[in-house]
Amino acid sequence: MKRQLILSILVMLSALILILPAFLQADIFMKQKIHTDGIQMMGQTQPPTDKIQTIWMTADKIRSDSEEGTVIMRLDKGLIYFLDNVKKTYSEMPLDMGKVMDSQMKKSMEEEGMDAEEQQAAMGMMQGMSQMKVTITPSAEKKKIGQYNCQKYLMDLQTMMGPSTSEMWVTEDLDMDYDLYSKFSAAMMGKGGMFGGMMKDMMEEMKKVRGVTVLTVTTMNMMGMSIKSTQELIEYSKGTAPAGYFEIPGGYKKSESPFGME
């Protein structure tokens, strides 16, 4: 079964919900610096990585660019696009994350030739394995990071891959529109499905975070390893997104493979 697809969607969703509360009526540009420490995995050394992620946001659209590729979320169309900028391909998925996960799992099981009884058993097993629980705990601790007055939040995330803890420093110095958070949350939760309840609980918990996340320090424990990463806001400004920025670029071919990758 395509567990990697499911995990990739969940990871992307977790990243986006940290950003969603920051939406404004005007277009917003954000630039983030992401660092991941080096690790030892399966006898091999993975060196530390540093990357820059840029994000443009409007009232009903988001575009995120990094070296891995581009993600465009269109609330107005109810779709998410994944672009492979090397191969010039893209794929699309419904914003209803619960529905798309259920659909991908069912399709995968059918391709493997599983009968109805086997599919039902596998779905039940995956439902238990794929539980994700988020707990947000506001702290009274405050400090200034750069030009921003920040409050500390602690996030505990329990997944089938292992637990992670994050220390989030959040500012309310920037104007924001919290109503847009609810719009995007509802679009991604859709009508539920096997994963819908999990996502609803996660979105509700994230509403405790009031403001824009300036710095996040995360420690993830996975397969006996501890992986530490930081995500830092280095630029935040109002403006107007470039014309056509949320459209599929000319010359890109549609792919049926997940995330636009052949």
Full 3-state SS string of 158-222: EECCEEEEEEEEEECCCCCCHHHHHHHHHHHHCCCCCCHHHHHHHHHHHCCCCCEEEEEEEEEEE
**Within 10 Å of residue 124's Cβ, how many Cβ atoms?**
11
Distance of CA 67 to the CA centre of its chain: 16
| Band (261; pLDDT cuts 50, 70, 90) | very low
Q: Which helix (H) or strand (E) holds 14?
A: helix 3-19
Between 44-58, 61-75, 85-99, 135-149, the lowest mean confidence (pLDDT) is in: 85-99
Q: What is the pLDDT of residue 184?
A: 54
| DSSP 8-state assignment for residue 256 | S
d(CA 237, CA 97): 29
Alpha helices in 38-171 (DSSP H): 97-111, 116-129
Is it the case that residue 221 has pLDDT exceeding 60?
Answer: yes
> Which amino acid type is present at position 2?
K
Which residue would you say has higher pLDDT here, 224 or 128? 224
Domain assignments of the chain as residue spans, ordered by start: 3-260
Question: What's the whole-model pTM score?
Answer: 0.71
Q: What is the mean pLDDT of residues 170-199?
A: 58
Is it the case that residue 31 has pLDDT exceeding 90?
Answer: yes
CATH T-level topology, domain 3-260: outer membrane lipoprotein receptor (LolB), chain A (2.50.20)
Q: What is the pLDDT of residue 234?
A: 94
| Band (202; pLDDT cuts 50, 70, 90) | confident
pLDDT tens for 234-260 read 998 888 999 999 999 999 999 876 554
pLDDT tens for 92-124 read 888 765 555 556 666 666 666 777 676 666 555
Q: What is the pLDDT of residue 124?
A: 56
